[in-house]
Amino acid sequence: EPEVTQTPSHQVTQMGQEVILRCVPISNHLYFYWYRQILGQKVEFLVSFYNNEISEKSEIFDDQFSVERPDGSNFTLKIRSTKLEDSAMYFCASWGVAGGLNEQFFGPGTRLTVL
Partner 1 sequence: AQSVTQLDSQVPVFEEAPVELRCNYSSSVSVYLFWYVQYPNQGLQLLLKYLSGSTLVKGINGFEAEFNKSQTSFHLRKPSVHISDTAEYFCAVSDANQGGKLIFGQGTELSVKP
- At its nearest, how many Å lie between partner 1 and the CB of residue 57? 9
End-to-end CA distance of the chain: 37
Query: Which residue among 24, 31, 60, 69 contacts partner 1 (CB under 8 A)?
Result: 31
Q: For residues 71-110, which are near partner 1 according to CB under 8 A?
A: 91, 93, 95, 101-109
Residue burial 55-87, b: 16+ Cβ < 10 Å; e: rest: eebeebbeeebebebeeeeebebebeebeeebb
Q: For residues 38-67, which are near partner 1 according to CB under 8 A?
A: 41-45, 48, 50, 55-56
- At its nearest, how many Å lie between partner 1 and the CB of residue 81? 25
CB 46 within 8 A of CB 59: no
- At its nearest, how many Å lie between partner 1 and the CB of residue 56? 6
* Residues making contact with partner 1 (CB under 8 A): 30-31, 33, 35, 41-45, 48, 50, 55-56, 91, 93, 95, 101-109
